[in-house]
Structure 1
Amino acid sequence: MPNPARVGKPEADVTRRPLGQRRREHTRLDVVVVAHLDQVLSRARPLGRPDEPPAGLPEQRADPKDIVQLKIRLDRYRPQVWRRILIPAGANLELLHHAIQVTFQWGGDHLHKFTVEETDYSHAGFELYNCLDERESALHAVLARPGSKICYLYDFGDCWNHTITWEKTVERDAGLRYPHCASGGGDYPIEYWDPDSDRKADPFDRDALNVKLRCLTRMSR
């Protein structure tokens, strides 16, 4: 079916214009497009680092005895899944890894790594290239200030990416065991999803989750 917008408009008007004229028109169009893109990109924020604090801010590292509140969000997953946990600032990244595995109900069958700015951390036994030992890296040493972020990647095949944000420092509660889940949202993700299965995601249960987290208390001391 002919395009109504082109009915009665002979194409000879376009194709029979001198070649030099058409080239000049295309060149002017390219210049306009490039200028517009330059304006858009100049206002754009770098990808992969949303809400990053401006450069040059002074460090405000937590004391190792402090309790830090972290929000952990599973990236690119709908409906959104997130957990807010309390953990000692003196804990190492290995403890944080185990806490994430429990709070998101991962099976622990795959490799993982943390990334803070340009530095990677993982378990030394994995022998990953250019990764520091997570067991020798404490939270207060890698988090420069409230608002700092850590990227956590679990399973290098399916790529379950998490963004960890240090929200604030809170007072230690003698009645709590750490790490502790303060809140959360979203059902547990299904790690091995089968399209032929009618399995449903397990609902988030904060109280049951904190019972499981108690097994990590010894590691946080």
Structure 2
Amino acid sequence: MVFRVYPPEQARAIVADALDREPCPVEPDQVEDVRAHVTLLRQRVELLPEAPRTPADTSVHRLKITLSGSKPPIWRRLEVPSTIPLVHLHRAVQDAFEWEDCHLWVFHTPAGDYGVHDPELGHGDATAVTLADVAPTPKTRLTYLYDFGDDWDHDILVEDVAQAEPGAAYPRCLTGRRAAPPEDCGGIPGYDHLCEVLADPFHPEHAELLEWLELDDPADFDPAAFDRDELNDYLAAWAKVLVKP
């Protein structure tokens, strides 16, 4: 277990973000602990100082995130706060591509590599670095690698940096194309093979892959499907308004 000392302002931001998420107690004693202590914890967080606001606090990065090697391209266009920590950008990419966040990940940026802090791998701490720190201007590129086995490599292009819209909550999805691949299907080559097999009812692996996907009908698997509204509903669970209307 790694222990780290954070300045009060950063500690407040980290704990406040955790408290914004839906509690997920399982055991009876966990339910009791949440009920007994979460209100007190919220009150104590309010006593910590907030970081001073800067113009970057109300700016947003528009990102085009493309799954490298996908043909036709699988991509999402997101707007995220410029000051989003990379660990939260990781969460946004996970949501956008419907990943299950059950594998290792890392951002490769012009300023270095950031993920779960690991000196042996040379990964800096993604909780301590923001998107503006590593990609401050338009046309900057970085990559996000998820699952060091399947190697889902995401090319991230900063298309623009602009002021947030009053009343708009971020992160949000503007548009996108095509469904994301299923988790653990073997990377882009495995996904291409999966699509080929499901399109051919006479393929010897057809029934096996349908069962693996837990589908009764291959028509239920649509590689072209993308629902922006559904994704935004998902992102809304933790999106925040940067500029009050």
Contact 1:115–1:151, Cα closer than 8 Å, also in 2: yes
Cα distance in 2 between the residues matched to 1:122 and 1:128: 12
Out of 65, 77, 99, the residue aligned to residue 84 of structure 1 is: 77
What is the distance in 2 between the residues matched to 1:182 and 1:73?
A: 14
Q: Which residue of 2 aligns with 1:155?
A: 147
Relative CO higher for 1 or 2, CA cutoff 8 Å, sep ≥ 6? 1
Number of residue equivalences: 159
The answer to whether the Cα contact below 8 Å between 2:170 and 2:241 also exists between their aligned partners in 1 is no
Q: Partners in 1 of 2:99 and 2:122 — Cα distance?
A: 25
Higher Cα radius of gyration? 1
Which of 112, 116, 119 is equivalent to 1:123?
116
% identical equivalent positions? 31
- Report the TM-score, using the length of structure 2 for normalisation: 0.59
Residue in structure 2 matching 1:73, options 66, 71, 87: 66
List gaps (5 residues or longer) in structure 2. Answer: 1-54, 186-193, 195-204, 214-220
Contact 2:110 2:135 in 1 (8 A): no
Evaluate the alpha carbon distance shift between residue 66 and residue 147 of structure 1 in structure 2; reply closer, same or farther with a 3 A threshold. same
Equivalent residue of 1:71, what SS?
strand
Q: Which runs of 4+ in 1 moved over 4 A?
A: 218-221
Could you tell me how far 1:82 is from its partner in structure 2?
A: 0.3
1:170 matched to 2:192: no
For residue 187 of structure 1, the aligned residue among 154, 179, 183 is 179
Give 1:147's aligned amino acid.
Answer: K
Whole-angstrom CA distance in 1 between matches of 2:111 and 2:58: 26
Give per-residue Cα distances to partners, 1:52-105, cap 9 Å, x unaligned. xxxxxxxxxx83421110110000122210000011101110110000000000
1-side partners of 2:140 and 2:79: how far apart? 15
Say if 1:180 and 1:78 are closer, same or farther in 2 by CA, change over 3 A: same
Alignment of 1:27-66 (within 5 A): 63-66=56-59
Contact 1:179-1:220 at 8 Å conserved across structures: no
Q: For the Cα contact (< 8 Å) 1:91–1:220, is it kept in 2? A: no
